[in-house]
Amino acid sequence: MNKTLLIILLVSSLFGFSQSDEAMLKADFAKYASALKSRQYTQATSYMPDQLFDVYNKEKLVQQMKQTFESADTKVKINAVEITSVDSKIIDGDESYIPFEFRQKFDLQYINLFDATDDEQSRDSTTKFIVDMLNESLPDSTISFDNKQEVFMINNLKKAIAIKSNSTDSWKFLVIEPSLKNVMDRLIPTTVMQKIKL
């Protein structure tokens, strides 16, 4: 009887611990997403792992984020960012890693997309070209075009890793970009990368 009670207590405490990790991860990720949505790029980088900036210049990244979201040629509006699935925690040395997926929904509008003289066929051709281009650069996305508002609506599924050192209370986030696999391999242990299956 005592063994059964002990096992139940151990299992429930482990479950509670993982629930706590997941809740904290989601809360920290919501702050990260909020910083991006409100265009506080420097604050957003505080939710990225410090080791990222050993291989990538922080100021350059902030500048690139600003150029992406505040371009004179496009308008980008993030509508929603939500975690869709959380994997099990992997402990490697002094750090914990949790792979997860999130969905981001955003609008992309090209300023002066069409010329006043463009006919319907020309508009359709331009729209199709941009949708194809976006599909190629944003795999795992659903892209549609709102003719009335002339806005591309993008629903994108992304993989990421939450990272937390034993000496800190907050999670940091690294969005997985297959095109930057060599950088990811330098930042993330092999055991974690194998679980993500890039």
CA distances to 92, 111, 126, 175, 193 from 160, in Å: 17, 31, 32, 4, 11
CB 9 within 8 A of CB 1: no
Tokens coding 118: 């463009």
* Per-residue pLDDT tens over the stretch 62-89: 998 898 888 888 899 999 999 999 999 9
Task: Name the percent of the chain lying above pLDDT 90.
Answer: 42
Asked if the model's pLDDT at residue 13 lies above 80, the reply is no
- Tell me whether residue 73 is exposed, middle or buried, using C-beta atoms within 10 angstroms of its C-beta: 0 to 12, 13 to 18, 19 or more: exposed
End-to-end CA gap in the chain: 47
* pLDDT band with cut points at 50, 70 and 90 for residue 2: very low
Which residues have C-beta within 8 Å of that of residue 127, sequence separation ≥ 6?
145
Q: Between 104 and 117, name the one with better pLDDT.
A: 104
Window from 10-19, 108-117, 133-142, 165-174 with minimum mean pLDDT: 10-19
Q: Which fold has domain 2-196?
A: Nuclear Transport Factor 2; Chain: A, (3.10.450)
pLDDT attached to residue 106: 92
102, 103, 124, 99: which is closest to 114 by C-alpha? 124
pLDDT attached to residue 26: 94
CB 154 within 8 A of CB 141: yes
* pLDDT band with cut points at 50, 70 and 90 for residue 18: low
Asked if the model's pLDDT at residue 46 lies above 60, the reply is yes
**φ, ψ for residue 109 (rounded to 5)?**
-125, 125
pLDDT attached to residue 198: 58
Q: What is the mean pLDDT of the chain?
A: 84
Asked if the model's pLDDT at residue 8 lies above 70, the reply is no
* Per-residue pLDDT tens over the stretch 154-182: 999 999 999 999 888 899 999 988 777 88
75, 78, 96: which is closest to 86 by C-alpha? 96
Which residues have C-beta within 8 Å of that of residue 123, sequence separation ≥ 6?
114
Give the type of residue at 166. Answer: N
